[in-house]
Structure 1
Amino acid sequence: MLMNTPREALGAERLDALRKELKARGLDGFVIPISDEHMSEYVGGYAQRLAWLTGFGGSAGTAVVLTDPAPQPAAAIFVDGRYTLQVRDQVDGRLYAYESIPQTSVAKWLEAHAPDGAVIGYDAWLHGVKWAETVDRALAGKGGKLVAVDSNPVDAVWQDRPAPSAAPALVHPDELAGESSEAKRAAVSEWLAGKSLDAVVITALDSIAWLLNIRGTDVERTPVALSYVIARADGTADLFVAEEKVTPQLRQHLGNSVNIQPRDRFVPGLEELAGKRVSVDPERAVGAIFTVLRGCGATVIEERDPTVLPKAIKNPVEQQGHRDAQKRDGGAVSRFLHWLSVEAPKGGVTELSAAAQLEAFRKAGSDLRDLSFDTISGAGPNGAVVHYRVAEETNRTLEPGMVYLIDSGGQYPSGTTDITRTVWIGPGEPAAEIRDRFTRVLKGHIALAMAVFPKGTAGSQLDVLARQALWQAGLDYAHGTGHGVGSFLSVHEGPQRIAKSAGAQGGTDQELMPGMFLSNEPGYYKTGEYGIRIENLVLVEPRTIEGAEGEYYGFETLTHVPIERKLVDRAILNDVEIGWWNAYHAHVLDVIGPQLDGGAKAWLKAQCAPL
């Protein structure tokens, strides 16, 4: 492929500009992650440095650029299995070597490719402290070192970089939160006192939003406000937020116990903790915070952010709010699938127009504030790209005889939704192989949905249930099976996960606890042909078992949308699985049926008929 398109030429131009900037600073290389000062998964436009430099549009990835372009490779981009295909579509392979996580890492790559004695720069406001220690050790082995830059060199050459959002922070009412901010801060205060700590630094945006019962519009698809919090053992807190975001409603909501300060006062605020015992979460706080605290004489205690677990365990109000959101969302998605069944076989629907139509159905309902992530709308081979992001250059028409995968969600004040459906674009019958693969994914989905497990079980212990039918045919998928979901917050929320115990998207030892939301989303992807994924959200709930020795849990399925019956090979399902299918669809009809009428309602009844 010749470099003859404007986008490719622009990528080379930007890479060259960055190398000149690195050389002027005396650096032999620089590391560029997808990250912001809060270690967010999704970041605002001002922090999209990797996308600007390379063209990569995924939500997880890192690039390394060496200043001297002569050694080959002189730059690399690192992604996990979700983005193996996407990165090749979006990033010029003559400029960047493609590297796969966890098979390699930035540290291993620099150890192999950085020149001896190399000085590699990084922005300490974008990386965790453990990451920096690992990379520095790797470079030290060849006489090099990792150094924190005073300002980000990408910003120096990004001439039209957008400013951070100035939108006001919003109050999230207690009747939706289910608990007041005062009560949550009191729990944090008790936690600090129990560990003989003076304060905790909270930097994860969803943690701040949960703790203070505030939301915002600073990051697309995630309703958070750019800010920092220092919470103290006496129950007070400092909120560092740009002054233009502060409204009279926010001040009244937070009251006198929360001291609102300008965002640029955060570093001085950290320095005022000199001599104090301060908790910081190394998984969620950037390395620069550790440097400032240690430099001023504070004693840094590494502990998990105390809001993470209570945020993950939804209270009854949040649970019911989510059910309400799922009911509205299920109606919108069902209307869309009916529309798709009528329009797609005509040949005029594209990935982009389908995604736009689904968003329109969601907006036509009540209370949609945003999508919960960019809709994954993949027809045929594009569906095999796990986190595919449709663009004009890749937009496909949904053609008869094609598998179509759509993964989407909505942000409602009462809850966050996430659902994937894979459908067959008729007329005609899907090939036996496609039906086999779909049904094996379905068997895994059902096995996980029906799981009963003892207290103390981690998601990694359940992951095999979703994969076993695929493994029996020598098949697998390169992503986790389930992630946590927030309450009008992040669509990907920890600490719970259902995944293999190793790898970049690996599992966690966090036990599953009643009140936790998770996704149930096994899949299968045949490169160049099609992708399959079936995703519902579930709630961990207690299970009453006669004669049980100890506490046992199971899942309540929260998502109410029919699953594509044309792709099911009934002969592969056993009686228990068919029973689950029929019960699930009977429930879908009960919940969604009253919302539909006319052709859409007739379609729903046909989709929900017993298998």
Structure 2
Amino acid sequence: MFQSFESESDPSKGAEHIALLRKWLNERGLTGFVVPRADEYQGEYVPPRSERLRWLTGFAGSAGVVLVLMDRALIFVDGRYTLQVRDQVDTAVFTPVNLVETPPDAWVRANLGKGARIGFDPWLHTISEAHDWRAAAEKSGAEMVAVEKNPIDELWADQPAAPLRPVEIQPIEFAGELAKDKLARLAGVLAREGATHCVLTDPSSLAWAFNIRGSDVPHTPLALGFAVIAAEGPHLLFMDKRKLSIEPEAYLTQLADLRAPGTLEAEIAALAAKDARIALDPKLAAERLRTLLEENGGKVLQLADPARLPRATKNEAEIAGTRAAHRRDGAAVVKFLAWLDAQPTGSVDEITAVTRLEEARRQTGEETQRPLRDVSFDTISGAGPNGAIIHYRVSHATNRKLGDGELFLLDSGAQYQDGTTDITRTVAIGRPTDEMRERATIVLKGMIGISMLRYPKGTRGCDIDVVARIAHWKAGVDYAHGTGHGVGSYLSVHEGPQRIAKAGTEKLLEGMILSNEPGYYKAGAYGIRMENLILVTPAEPIEGGDIAMYGFETLTLAPFDRRLIVAALLSSEERAWLDAYHARVLAEIGPMVGGDVLKWLEAATAPIDQ
């Protein structure tokens, strides 16, 4: 079982822990401290050792930051966690603030008084974040103070050890390009940009560049470490050798000089002293790396991580792998949906649904000899009002039956060695209300709108996000999250830099994989989300057109619940897309299932009645 159902939050410890932190700050002449949900690699998923924000507050979300002052404490979260944060923290101790409406630096600029000294750990903030905090503090007459030791690490008595999971080599049949060739490409970029070196700080970039995978963080096959890529000369890889068996160590030794993680600062300082010009991505690299370089005479070049775009634009082997992974995953999801439909109303709970779906994925992987390696994130299994919590995570304490007349939102994904999946389907349990059906059809229209879209070269995610919201806005509703995130190739299910969102400024390039997932959430009642993964591809030429266009190939293969579709609200073009999609699902998944499951699938994919 990959997913635990133990409660991840303990709000009762908030007052005790914040008192310890304030005592620590007072002894050092600090009037506040910033605690982000981050580790030194700045990834979305962090090992248990780095869950400092959860230790302090009880909040288990994947993004957030706390500002602790002597007289109050604020926890900043985005719209995904508006409901969750109030359930998981003691709001008598921590005041929730919407970080989109009131960014932390804006709050600091407006509220900190003169003379305030706010501590921060420079390993846990990117260069850009640290700059924004400093600028905001200076505006209010305050000061940001970098600390040498993180206070949480000193106060957390039973803090877990750093992970030491084994590293494995990603075979060329799935990677599609040799690591030595990838590293040569990165070295060429550095030479053109006038850099002598760059530091790869994103573990996904490290995994991609060296064709390695690991399991140091939950559900994402990452081996935590840093690399210094050289424009000329040997590369350096900082990774604990206890993670390396004989074969991976011999493999990596051919690509880079292996170094112990504890020597990173000394090696960086030594390079800086030799007048190195080292590239750091200001949105990814820790502030500590910048100060370390500058204090030792090096020059910092603020450049985007050179591996991010190559990693995001999948090659032929990666695309073939993800298509195969989605077919297997689609068969597993179909088996689960058919099973769920056959259960008596009210007999299934959220945890049972999660475990049954995971079993279907395991079984399908075994049958096809492409085993399920992990889930790609903790499954969101939300019945009724729990579905309205955008990033809900079921536990034994919150587990709920799928009740008659309710909606069930199931957002899940899998990690296979040839691809990463992410799919959401919303299912009616019993008879849905007219409002539920109308809202679900609005969400479906938004998803179809993105799926059918054609757009010119250079289009960004922010340029098309509105397409998914047109039907929502016409109905006077919206959703508080982006429409789509990037997805890796047996890597992070939330990959950058590509995204479909109001803040998605990266161009959509051929080979990028994204999610397409509009939603609707009625607090205390139900949630709806429909999600497919899509691949950026050249579009068929448009008759009479005079420019090349791009579009999306849908990768995910599973039917939508017909009980939640109001056919009259779909245009003829939308109905044609849906019927064609369902016909494709039957054609590709049908041969992988049989018996009652095939009969269920045939009914689920029949043309929509007009």
TM-score by length of 2: 0.95
Higher mean C-alpha deviation, range 105-114 or range 148-157: 105-114
> How many residues were matched structurally?
592
Partners of 2:158 and 2:32 in 1: CA distance: 23
Q: Deviations over 1:439-486 (max 9, x none)?
A: 011111111100011111111111111110111011111110011100
Q: Which residue of 1 aligns with 2:329?
A: 329
Report the AA paired with residue 39 of structure 2: D
Q: Which residue of 1 aligns with 2:118?
A: 120
Q: Which residue of 2 aligns with 1:30?
A: 33
Report the AA paired with residue 463 of structure 1: D
Q: Which residue of 2 aligns with 1:158?
A: 156
Q: Which residue of 1 aligns with 2:5?
A: none
Higher mean C-alpha deviation, range 202-211 or range 356-365: 356-365
Contact in 1 for aligned 2:425/2:531 (Cα 8 Å): yes
Q: Which residue of 1 aligns with 2:368?
A: none
User: Cα gap change, 1:306/1:7 in structure 2, threshold over 3 Å: closer, same or farther?
Assistant: closer
**Pair 1:63 & 2:60 matched:** no
Shift of 1:246: 2.1
Q: Which residue of 1 aligns with 2:426?
A: 422
Shift of 1:19: 1.6
Partners of 2:539 and 2:128 in 1: CA distance: 39
Q: Which residue of 1 aligns with 2:57?
A: 54
Q: Which residue of 2 aligns with 1:594?
A: 591
Q: Structure 1, unaligned stretches of length 5 or more?
A: 1-5, 501-505
Report the AA paired with residue 302 of structure 1: Q
Report the AA paired with residue 141 of structure 1: K
Partners of 1:9 and 1:533 in 2: CA distance: 32
The aligned runs of 1:21-420 (5 Å cut-off) are 21-66=24-69, 68-69=70-71, 74-234=72-232, 236-274=234-272, 275-343=275-343, 345-366=344-365, 367-420=371-424
Contact in 2 for aligned 1:350/1:397 (Cα 8 Å): yes
Any idea what SS the aligned residue of 2:602 has? helix
Any idea what SS the aligned residue of 2:342 has? helix
Any idea what SS the aligned residue of 1:403 has? strand
Runs of 4+ residues deviating >4 angstroms = none
Q: Which residue of 1 aligns with 2:488?
A: 486
Shift of 1:153: 0.4
Shift of 1:430: 1.4
The aligned runs of 1:507-518 (5 Å cut-off) are 507-508=504-505, 510-518=506-514
Higher mean C-alpha deviation, range 445-454 or range 351-360: 351-360
Report the AA paired with residue 390 of structure 1: V
Q: Deviations over 1:248-304 (max 9, x none)?
A: 211332343411111111111111212011111011101000011111111110000
Any idea what SS the aligned residue of 2:347 has? coil
Q: Which residue of 2 aligns with 1:551?
A: 548
- Calculate the aligned-residue CA RMSD, in Å: 1.3
Contact in 2 for aligned 1:440/1:469 (Cα 8 Å): yes
User: Cα gap change, 1:195/1:111 in structure 2, threshold over 3 Å: closer, same or farther?
Assistant: closer
The aligned runs of 1:555-570 (5 Å cut-off) are 555-570=552-567
Q: Which residue of 2 aligns with 1:538?
A: 534
Report the AA paired with residue 415 of structure 2: Q
Contact in 2 for aligned 1:44/1:218 (Cα 8 Å): yes
Partners of 1:347 and 1:37 in 2: CA distance: 45
Contact in 2 for aligned 1:416/1:485 (Cα 8 Å): yes
Any idea what SS the aligned residue of 1:272 has? helix
Partners of 1:114 and 1:360 in 2: CA distance: 52
Q: Structure 2, unaligned stretches of length 5 or more?
A: 1-8, 366-370
Partners of 2:342 and 2:255 in 1: CA distance: 57
Partners of 1:361 and 1:567 in 2: CA distance: 24
Shift of 1:113: 4.1
Shift of 1:247: 2.1
Q: Deviations over 1:413-462 (max 9, x none)?
A: 00000000000012xx3111111110011111111100011111111111
Shift of 1:11: 2.2
Any idea what SS the aligned residue of 1:539 has? strand
Shift of 1:112: 4.1
Q: Deviations over 1:134-184 (max 9, x none)?
A: 222222233320011111101111111101111121111111100000110
Shift of 1:339: 1.4
Contact in 2 for aligned 1:185/1:236 (Cα 8 Å): no
Shift of 1:535: 0.1
Q: Deviations over 1:378-431 (max 9, x none)?
A: 1111111111111222221111110010101001100000000000012xx311
Partners of 2:511 and 2:108 in 1: CA distance: 43
Q: Percent identity?
A: 49
Contact in 2 for aligned 1:107/1:134 (Cα 8 Å): yes
Any idea what SS the aligned residue of 1:120 has? strand
Shift of 1:9: 3.2
Any idea what SS the aligned residue of 2:229 has? strand
Higher mean C-alpha deviation, range 12-21 or range 293-302: 12-21
Partners of 1:355 and 1:257 in 2: CA distance: 41
